[in-house]
C-alpha cells in the first residue's frame, strides 16, 4: 500500500455540495492499494500511521502520536499515488489495485482505524470525485509504502 500522511490543523472532504468527512487537529491519510496488497498490509499500515510520532511534545520535538494529542484521522482513497511518471507526460495508473480490491482494502483500513483509534475517524467516499481541503500543520507530509 502507498500512503501519504499530512499533519493538519483541520481537513475536510466534500462530494458535490456535501461534506462527507471532516476533522480538526490530526492527520489526513491519502491511501492507495496495490494489486498484491492484503488485509494484513492494510492493518499494518493503519497501525503504523496511528503510531507515527509527528506531533510536538512540550519541548517542541515530534514525539507524540495521534492518540497522545487527541487528534482525528481523515482517510481518503487516492489511486493516483500509484502514478507511473517514468515515460512521457501522462501518468499511468496500472500500479493501483483494481476497483474491487481497492474498495475492499480501503474499507478494511477504515474499519481497522475505527477499531484501534479512540479519537475521531472520518472518511472520504471511495471512487467519488472529491474535493479535499486542508490546513497542513508544519508543513509535515510523510510518504509511506508497505508491501506484504
Distance of CA 73 to the CA centre of its chain: 8
* Choice among 6, 30, 55, 78 that is catalytic: 78
Q: Tell me what percent of the chain is helix, strand and coil, each rounded to the nearest 5.
A: 25, 40, 35
* Choice among 80, 93, 141, 145 that is catalytic: 80
Length of the chain: 148
Active site residue 145: no
60 exposed, middle or buried (CB, 10 Å; 0-12, 13-18, 19+)?
Answer: exposed
* Cα–Cα distance for residue pair 103/93, rounded to 1 Å: 16
Active site residue 78: yes
β-pair partners for 121:
73
Active site residue 55: no
* Choice among 6, 55, 79, 112 that is catalytic: 79
Q: Is the dihedral of CA 74, 75, 76, 81 positive or negative?
A: positive
For the annotated catalytic residues, the residue numbers are: 78-80
Amino acid at each position: 500500500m502507498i500512503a501519504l500522511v499530512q499533519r493538519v490543523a483541520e481537513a475536510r472532504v466534500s462530494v458535490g455540495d456535501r461534506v462527507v468527512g471532516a476533522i480538526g487537529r490530526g492527520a489526513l491519510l491519502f491511501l492507495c492499494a496495490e494489486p498484491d496488497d492484503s488485509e494484513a498490509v492494510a492493518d499494518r499500515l493503519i497501525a503504523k500511521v496511528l503510531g507515527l510520532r509527528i506531533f510536538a511534545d512540550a519541548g517542541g520535538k515530534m514525539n507524540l502520536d495521534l492518540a497522545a494529542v487527541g487528534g482525528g484521522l481523515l482517510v481518503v482513497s487516492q489511486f493516483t499515488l500509484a502514478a507511473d511518471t517514468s515515460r512521457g507526460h501522462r501518468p499511468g495508473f496500472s500500479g493501483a489495485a483494481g476497483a474491487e480490491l481497492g474498495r475492499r482494502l480501503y474499507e478494511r483500513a477504515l474499519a481497522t482505524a475505527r477499531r484501534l483509534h479512540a479519537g475521531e475517524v472520518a472518511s472520504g467516499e471511495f471512487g467519488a470525485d472529491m474535493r479535499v481541503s486542508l490546513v497542513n500543520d508544519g508543513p509535515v507530509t510523510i510518504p509511506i509504502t508497505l508491501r506484504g
